[in-house]
Structure 1
């Protein structure tokens, strides 16, 4: 696993707004998020020891933000791999197309918010790692 932060790991800093009453973040497409937001979903209630993801997308881009709790994200572009912790509601990670990603070690209170550049399309998924490696190396 590479521990250096390369182009594979692209953090999105999310400005915190607010005052003594608390914090607020605003996620705007093509401003904070580097694409139009077409779909929003979140993962929560993940059982201990369960991992998620295990796929890449042909075209879809995503930003993942752990709005509470934490999880470990593995990113793999077919050349290098990196593991990072998502553990802040004010920091997201950009998952570009053709990046294999996996989420591990979810805390019991983890809520992982994902902003996607496209609507759900099963044909955009690459679900077999060997198919992913073949695609990125052609």
Structure 2
């Protein structure tokens, strides 16, 4: 998928396997068996103050799976022409975000934790942090 042709409609909800027993649930993500990309970086956001937003950027080549492992939040996806808002509130569902999509995370509930599985290690050159530049690149 390339930066110019990606659309919010290429981003999708992925149902993750949930194994339930009386001692509690477990969800396992097994690299490329579960995801359409390799996992090269894992990070999570937490202790986000009320009213704060995260994201506010796009990636040139990075794929992500975003999961609300606790609590809830919303993700606004923007491809330069279309926008879509997705509410994440279950730890067994994740949002796959493809390259070339601007994302903003907001409306974090108290105690929420956002887990992100990324296809690449951190590289500043992969980020597009200016929305006007993003719109120009998307053409």
Q: Which bin holds the TM-score, normalised by the shorter protein?
A: over 0.9
1:122, distance to aligned residue in structure 2 (A): 0.4
Q: Aligned partners of 1:8, 1:75: CA distance in 2, in Å?
A: 11
What is the SS of the residue equivalent to 2:50?
Answer: coil
Q: Please, what TM-score do these two structures have when normalized by structure 1?
A: 0.92
Q: Please, what TM-score do these two structures have when normalized by structure 2?
A: 0.92
Q: Aligned partners of 1:8, 1:82: CA distance in 2, in Å?
A: 11
Query: Residue by residue, what CA displacement relative to the aligned partner does 1:65-95 show, whole Å, maximum 9, x if unpaired?
Result: 0000000100011121001111000000011
Paired residue for 2:4? none
**CA RMSD of superposed structures (Å):** 1.0
Aligned length: 132
Q: Which runs of 4+ in 1 moved over 4 A?
A: none
Indicate yes or no: 2:105 matched with 1:108: no
What is the SS of the residue equivalent to 1:119?
Answer: coil
Does the 8 Å CA contact 2:58/2:101 hold for their aligned counterparts?
yes
Extract unaligned runs of 5+ from structure 2: 1-7
